Amino acid sequence: MPEDEGPALTDEQEIWSALRTAIGGLAVLDLVAMIIVSEAMEESTWQGMSVSVWAIVIGVPIFALLSALTLFGDRIILRNHRQ
């Protein structure tokens, strides 16, 4: 009985799939860490600002970078797949 085979992925697509999963996981961890730090360190200050604010100041650009990396990676893989 032959196995049902879906579309075969290239090595590049398989590698990107694994990286994309890891990047998505890091983005989720970043959001969770921002929430936890913001709630836990509300009254602590560093460099004159609340640690909650620092969590957002640092966490949002990291999340944006991870999101942009995912989008650009998808575009590159899609472009290479079409060729």
How many helices (H) and strands (E) in the chain?
A: 2, 2
Q: Which pair of structure tokens corresponds to residue 54? A: 């620092």
- Packed helices 51-82 and 11-40: angle between N→C axes, nearest 10 degrees: 170
In terms of Cβ atoms closer than 10 Å to its own Cβ (0-12, 13-18, 19+), residue 39 is exposed
User: Tens digit of pLDDT for each residue in 65-78?
Assistant: 999 999 999 998 87
- pTM value is 0.77
User: Tens digit of pLDDT for each residue in 5-40?
Assistant: 667 778 888 888 999 999 999 999 999 999 999 999
Look at the chain and count its residues.
83
